[in-house]
Structure 1
Amino acid sequence: WIPGNRHPARCCPASRKMPALLPLLCSAATVCAYSIGSKPHRLTHIGHSALILPCIRAKFQRTNTILACAPATAVSTSQVADSSFAERKEALIAGLKKEYDAFFQPMEIQLYSKDVTFKDPLISFQGVEKYKQNVDMLAGVSAIGRACFSDCALIMHNVTSDSKLHLRTRWTLQFRFKLLPWRPLAQFTGVSEYTLDENALVTSQVDFWDSVNLQQGGSYELKPAPAAFFDLLKQLTPQDSAQAASGKELPYVLLRRTDDYEVRRYPQNVAVNTEYERRIDALGALGAYTNGANELGEELVPFVPSLMSIPREGSEKSKLMRWPMLVPSIQRGEAAPPQPTERLQDYVSLELVPSKVCTAQISQMCSLH
C-alpha cells in the first residue's frame, strides 16, 4: 500500500492482498495498528501484550471495511519462562544419560557452569576444566588414567528430581587398579546431587557413596575423608574369597555396596536346587550332585555364590538353596546341566531361575527378593 494513494488502480499489487493478510497480523506477537487513508500513513507500536488488536479499519475507494480478530488466550511471561526452563532441564537429563552411557567420552561441557563445583567423599574442586580432567582420569583416557586404570565403567540406574533446581542420579562406578600385581577391581555405588541455575546448567555436584555416607533410613551424611580412603584401601587389598577359589562367579549388576552387604541383580540362569531346614543338609545334597551324582557321572563346577530364598516368618514355604549351573545369556549353545541321579531326585532338581535382585552377605550366600 502506498500511503496517501486514493486510487486503487495505481496501488502496488500487494495492496490487493491486504484483506487476506490482515488476520495474520492480528495473531502476531508484536501487534501494530494501521490507519490507512488519504492522510499520511501512521503506525503505532503496541509491543508484547496480552491484548490482541480488536479490529483494523481500512479504507478502500471511500468504502469502509472492518476486519475483526478474535481475542487470543493470554500467556504470561512467567509461563513462557517456565516452559523454556523445563525444556532445558529435559535436555540436561538427556545429556547426563548420554555422558554416563559413554563414561563422559565426550563430556558435554555445555551442560555445566564454568565455575561448577564438585565434591565426593575423597576430593573436591571447582571449575569445568578440572571436572573434565577428573572424569578423563577415571575413564582411563588421560595419561594418568591409562597408567592406573582399566575395565572402567559407569552405569546410571535412574535420575529423579524433587524440585525445580535439583536432580539426583543413582549410579555404579568401577575400575580395575593396574599398578598392583593382583589387579583388584574397585566398585562404588551411590548418588549424585546436582544443583542447577536458572538456565538449567549444573552449578554443583555432590557425590555420596553407599559404603561411606549411607545412614539407616536411606539418608546420606557427609563423613571425613579418611573413611572414604579406608573404604578404597579395603577394596585394593588381596581378597581370599569363594569367587577367587572357584574362578566361576555368577555375573551380576551391582546396585548397592555398603560396608556390610551388597545388593545385586543376577541374570536368568539354570540352577540346581534343594529345600532344606538346616544349611548343612542343603550343602550336602547339592555337593553330591556336583561331585558326580548326576546322569553324566561327572564332577560339575557351579557358579558362586549360593543363592537362597528364605520365606518370611510364619510362611508355610520351605527355605530353598540354589547353585547356578548355566547362564544362557553368556553360554549360548551349551548343553543343559544333567539331571540328578535317581537316588537324588527326591531331594534335588533343576529349574530355570528368572533374573532376580538379591542381598549378598559377607558369607557370599545371597538372600533372594
Structure 2
Amino acid sequence: MMSLLDRRDRPRDLRGRSRPDRGMGVLKVLVDRYVGVVTPLGTGTENVARPDPEMRLTVSRKEVVAADDDVVRLTLQAPDGTVLPSWHPGAHIDVHLESGRRRQYSLCGDPADADRYVVAVRRVPDGGGGSLEMHALEPGDTVSVRGPRNGFPFVADGPALFVAGGIGITPILAMTRAAELAGTDWLLVYTGRSRSAMPFVRELEQRYGARVFIRPDDEYGLPTAADLLAAAPIGGAVYCCGPTPMLESVRTGFDHTDAHALHFERFGAPPIVDGRPFEVQLASTGEVLAVSADESALDVIRRHRPDVAYSCRQGFCGTCRTRVLSGNPDHRENRLTDDERSEEILVCVSRADGRLVLDL
C-alpha cells in the first residue's frame, strides 16, 4: 500500500492547490462556535435541554466486525418497524441497560436507514461492565434508548482529514459516507493495535480504496502527530476520534498544519487541568475520601463504592449527578442548570475547594 504522504494529493484539491471553497464559510462558523478551533464532545448547551423521550428498541441483528472477536455491531429497531428520530453523522445514542448502567455509543450506520440505529461496541473486560452487557445482547433482546444527540457534528463541505483510533472509527464511518456522497475531498487515517483488533478494515478498504490509510501499530509503530496529520488539508478540517493519547497528540500537532478547524470526540475521561486536592465525605457512612490533584472524585468514590452510577466521565451525560449536602463545588460541566448546580454536582468532573459532603 502507498504511504499516506505519497497519496495525500490523490483526491483532487486535498493538498497544495489554492482555490475558493464555499465550505470555508460554514467551517468558520463552526470554528467561531466551538471554543477556538477545537470541538470536544458535549460542550454545547444542547445537554441542558429536556431529556429525549425513551424508546424501547429490539436487537434485530448482531455481527462480529473485528477479527479478534472483541467488537460487535448491533442493529436496533422498533418492534413494529416504525421510523426512528433522524440523525446526522457524529451523533450518538444513550443506551440504558437492564443493570441500570447507561452508556453512549456513536451511530455508525447510514442515516438514510430511518428504521434502525447501528452501533459497534468493543468488549472491555476490566471496564465498568457496560460493554460486557452489550456483548451479551442477542437478537430479540430489548434495550431502552434515548437520543440521538450530536456533540461532534460533521459538515460535508470543504476538504477534510478523518483520524480514527480503534473503536473511534464508529462516528467516522458515517462521516466518510456523507463526505463521499457530497463529493467532498477527504482522506482517512485509521490506527489501532493490529489489523485484527481494528473493526471495519475490510469494509473501508473495499469501499474507498486509496482514500483510506490503515496504520496498525504492530506494522508501523506508534504514530506521531506528524504521522497522523501529514495530510491535513489546506484551509480544511480535521475530525478526530479515539483514545486520549491520540487526541492529545493531534491537538498539540494541529497548529503545525495548514488546516483551519479541528473537531474531536473523546472516548474516556479527559485529562484534569488545574486540579487541586480536595475531600469528599460520603454521608451514608461518614467516610472522608481524599481526592488528589490528578484524579476525579468519581475515580476515588468508585474505589470505595464500585456500584456508583456513571457513564461518559466527561460531564455531559448526567448519569453521575449527586446531591451536595454541604461544601462549595467547582462545577466543570455544561449539563446542569443554575438551579440544579445549587444542589448537585457531576462527580466525574466537578471539584471543590475544601470538603464536599455528598448524598452517597
TM-score, L = length of structure 2? 0.24
Higher relative contact order (CA 8 A, sep 6+): 2
TM normalised by structure 1 equals 0.24
Tell me which protein shows more strand as a share of its residues.
1
Q: Which has the larger radius of gyration?
A: 1
